[in-house]
């Protein structure tokens, strides 16, 4: 047998963890509507039905039938899940959510029987309601039981059941990648978070303290990756919907500052971070740490369904990623975007992201490819005309620096004047009404 052929065969027969690089699959924002029984994959303006999810799974299997790791970065359940349950004639939203979670877990576990799984919860994943995750709840414990066998495959997340049931977070090790993953439930840090019932203590602060302790104890031979659902920084899509008169953040200011400070202090050994939530494929720099933003399966927000194939290097870094998207017109999945190829870089790290960010800002052709990738090739883009700066500046900036970069400063200065005038008009109207009711007459 020729030497080259022998080496190739040996490489294939070796366990994936023994190879130099690993391939991971990343899927996010499935938003499964289990009550949509249509045999045709759901389209624009709708969440995922089972047909679309099965199509996604089959495409993932074709791209890599034996990934080392599969990541689901939150939002398993459809938007307004409780309303869908009631419309289906069911009164038990919690039981319906558990059934949907079980169905997704079984489908993924069956499709990838040897993969290690990493999951985080999103803002739509609690039956109590959107952004209403409850710590230490029976539901959280049930979700831990559903996903435990997949997350703790090969005994890589031995404390998953305990810490996930407590607050939706846990640590996992990745054999062969010299990598440890901190998986978070950052819904507690959202600017929209509202507790479900009475909550003892401060779950947001408790989780940040746990993360601080975890990052401070990273073994010298390993690096860290951080996986969450909601990214820090500016919500560019909602800021656009607000006509760019106000800047909309994802996380509340206090917890975001603590998180960014913590990540910045530990960035020397944090290889990369991953988030979802935006339904857009993008990247950010958070405290000097490169963050990959995953696209969504759900096509509800004018995007094509998509997932990512990641190449994780032997030293625990992220080398490259390729975006695969679904075209409803051709009913086919195809590669839509290759990070290294588009930006001319070799790794997904902070210097490479700084370079990619600069190229997007300077080169219209690259900017078009980036804008197309944001929505996974959907015909209606989001960064048209000068609006591109709204999303582009969110990659690296926040606060006042973001406003200046996105050319929002004048709008923000005008807004308080408008609000002030409206307040004066409202007060004057109330005064006139009161004067008329008291019989006031001009002398």
Q: Which CATH number covers residue 309?
A: 3.60.21.10
Pick from 219, 193, 221, 197: nearest CA to 207: 193
User: Token pair for residue 309?
Assistant: 């194939």
Task: Kindly state whether residues 384 and 417 are assigned to the same domain.
Answer: no
Same domain, 369 and 395: yes
| 147 and 58 in a common domain | yes
The answer to whether 348 and 292 have CB atoms below 8 angstroms apart is yes
- The reported pTM is 0.87
How many structural domains is the chain composed of? Answer: 2
Same domain, 417 and 398: no
Residues 324 and 178 in one domain: yes
Answer yes or no: do 422 and 400 share one domain: no
- Residues 309, 424 share a domain: no
Nearest Cα neighbor of 204 from 268, 296, 267, 131 is 131
Indicate if 141 and 264 belong to the same structural domain: yes
Residue 245 falls inside a structural domain: yes
pLDDT at 425: 64
Calpha distance 83→311 (Å, rounded): 39
Instruction: Look at residue 11 and tell me if it is in a domain.
Output: no
- Given this model, what pLDDT does residue 34 score? 96
Q: What is the pLDDT along the chain (443 residues), one digit of tens a residue?
A: 444 434 334 434 444 434 469 999 999 999 999 999 999 999 999 999 999 999 999 999 999 999 999 999 999 999 999 999 999 999 899 999 999 999 999 999 999 999 999 999 999 999 999 999 989 999 999 999 999 999 999 899 999 999 999 999 999 999 888 899 999 999 999 999 998 888 878 999 999 999 999 999 999 889 999 999 999 999 998 888 877 778 899 999 999 999 999 999 999 999 999 999 999 999 999 999 999 999 999 999 999 999 999 999 999 999 999 999 999 999 999 999 999 999 999 999 999 999 999 999 999 999 999 999 999 999 877 777 778 999 999 999 777 788 888 888 555 444 444 444 455 566 556 655 644 554 443 33
For residue 47, tell me if it sits in a domain.
yes
Helix axis angle for 350-362 and 364-374, nearest 10°, is 110
Between the alpha carbon of residue 105 and those of residues 108, 150, 223, 302, the distances in Å are 5, 8, 28, 27
CA-based radius of gyration for the chain: 23
352, part of any domain: yes
Cβ-based neighbour number of residue 191 at 10 Å: 15
Strands 270-275 and 318-327: unpaired
Same domain, 106 and 222: yes
396 & 413 share domain:
no
Question: Is 230 inside a domain boundary?
Answer: yes
| Boundaries of domain holding 427 | 408-437
198 & 323 share domain: yes
Q: Judge if 285 and 325 occupy the same domain.
A: yes
Q: In angstroms, rounded to a whole number, what is the distance separating the alpha carbons of residues 328 and 251?
A: 33
Q: Is residue 344 part of a domain?
A: yes
* Gap between the Cα atoms of 312 and 112, Å rounded: 18
pLDDT at 430: 61
Sign for the CA dihedral angle at 347, 342, 291, 112 comes to negative
Residue that has been written with the tokens 């600017």 in this structure:
191
Where do we find the tokens 């500052």? 257
Helical H segments across 159-248, by residue range: 160-167, 203-216, 236-241
339: in domain: yes
In a domain, 291, yes or no: yes
In this structure, are residues 77 and 84 in contact, taking their beta carbons and an 8 Å threshold? Answer: no
State the DSSP H helix or E strand holding residue 399, giving kind and residue range, or none if neither.
helix 399-405
């Amino acid at each position: 047998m020729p030497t080259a052929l022998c080496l190739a065969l040996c490489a294939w027969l070796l366990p994936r963890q023994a190879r130099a690089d690993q391939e991971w699959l990343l899927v996010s924002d499935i938003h499964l509507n289990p009550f949509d029984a249509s045999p045709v994959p759901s389209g624009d303006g709708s969440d995922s039905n089972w047909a679309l999810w099965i199509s996604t799974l089959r495409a993932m299997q074709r791209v890599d039938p034996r990934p080392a790791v599969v990541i689901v970065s939150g939002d398993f359940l459809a938007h307004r899940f409780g309303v869908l349950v009631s419309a289906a004639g069911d009164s038990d939203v919690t039981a319906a959510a558990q059934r949907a979670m079980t169905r997704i877990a079984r489908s993924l576990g069956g499709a990838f029987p040897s993969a290690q799984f990493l999951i985080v919860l999103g803002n739509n994943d609690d039956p109590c309601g959107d952004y209403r995750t409850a710590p230490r709840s029976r539901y959280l414990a049930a979700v831990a039981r559903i996903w435990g066998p997949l997350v703790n495959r090969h005994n890589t997340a031995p404390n998953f059941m305990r810490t996930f049931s407590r607050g939706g977070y846990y640590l996992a090790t990745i054999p062969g990648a010299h990598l440890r993953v901190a998986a978070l439930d950052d819904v507690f840090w959202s600017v929209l978070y509202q507790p479900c019932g009475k909550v003892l203590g401060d779950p947001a602060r408790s989780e940040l303290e746990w993360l601080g302790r975890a990052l401070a104890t990273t073994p010298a031979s390993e690096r860290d990756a951080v996986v969450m659902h909601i990214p820090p920084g500016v919500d560019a899509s909602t800021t656009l919907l607000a006509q760019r008169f106000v800047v909309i953040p994802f996380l509340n200011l206090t917890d975001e500052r603590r998180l960014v400070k913590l990540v910045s202090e530990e960035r020397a050994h944090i290889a990369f971070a991953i988030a979802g939530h935006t339904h857009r494929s993008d990247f950010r720099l958070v405290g000097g740490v490169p963050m990959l933003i995953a696209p969504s399966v759900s096509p509800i927000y004018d995007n094509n369904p998509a997932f990512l194939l990641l190449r994780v290097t032997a030293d625990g870094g992220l080398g490259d990623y390729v975006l695969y998207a679904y075209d409803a017109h051709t009913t086919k999945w195809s590669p839509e975007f290759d990070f290294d190829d588009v930006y001319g870089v070799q790794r997904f790290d902070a210097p490479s992201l700084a370079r990619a960010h600069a190229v997007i800002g300077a080169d219209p052709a690259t900017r078009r490819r980036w804008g197309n990738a944001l929505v996974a090739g959907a015909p209606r883009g989001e960064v048209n005309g000068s609006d591109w700066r709204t999303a582009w500046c969110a990659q690296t900036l926040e606060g006042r620096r973001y406003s200046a970069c996105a050319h929002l400063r004048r709008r923000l200065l005008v807004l308080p004047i408008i609000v002030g005038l409206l307040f004066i008009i409202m007060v004057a109207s109330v005064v006139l009404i009161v004067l008329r009711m008291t019989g006031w007459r001009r002398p």
